[in-house]
């Protein structure tokens, strides 16, 4: 599984390291990420650029750790916008993160099925 959405080398390494806990890691990422997306939405709605920056930074880290490269890139872009206090384009960025998370979710659920 190597494409613009997921880094297959990272997933292989995670499988080797986590062994039987790998499916749990995928499940945890999916659940945690839903909360992170909600945090992005809340911070955006409140106009709190620092909360948005922190939420994007945190989500970026977990995405990077799980090999969700495109999602991490989008979070980084949002983090930079929020750091600079540029919220006018942030709504579109959050929407892009939500779309990419939907794709990653499908891919991770398919990956999870291999271990059912």
Average pLDDT over residues 16-37: 96
First to last CA, the chain: 18
The total number of structural domains that make up the chain: 1
pTM: 0.93
Q: pLDDT tens digit string along 60-75?
A: 999 999 999 999 999 9
Band the pLDDT of 103: cuts 50, 70, 90.
Answer: very high
Contact assessment for residue 70 and residue 13, using Cβ atoms and an 8 Å cutoff: no
Spatial distance between the Cα atoms of 23 and 54, rounded to a whole number of angstroms:
27
pLDDT surpassing 80 at residue 116: no
Is residue 42 included in any domain, yes or no?
Answer: yes
CATH number of the domain at 80, please. 1.20.120.160
Is residue 40 included in any domain, yes or no?
Answer: yes
Average pLDDT over residues 30-57: 97
- Burial (Cβ within 10 Å: 0-12, 13-18, ≥19) of residue 68: buried
Is residue 3 included in any domain, yes or no?
Answer: no
Average pLDDT over residues 78-95: 95
């Amino acid at each position: 599984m190597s494409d613009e959405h997921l880094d297959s080398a990272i997933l292989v390494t995670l499988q080797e390291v986590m062994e039987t806990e790998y499916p749990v890691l995928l499940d945890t990422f999916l659940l945690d990420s839903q909360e992170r997306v909600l945090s992005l939405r809340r911070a955006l709605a409140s106009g709190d650029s620092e909360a948005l920056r922190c939420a994007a930074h945190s989500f970026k880290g977990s995405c990077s750790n799980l090999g969700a490269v495109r999602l991490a890139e989008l979070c980084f872009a949002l983090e930079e916008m929020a750091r600079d206090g540029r919220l006018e384009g942030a709504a579109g960025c959050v929407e892009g993160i939500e779309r990419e998370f939907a794709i990653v979710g499908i891919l991770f659920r398919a990956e999870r099925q291999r271990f059912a």
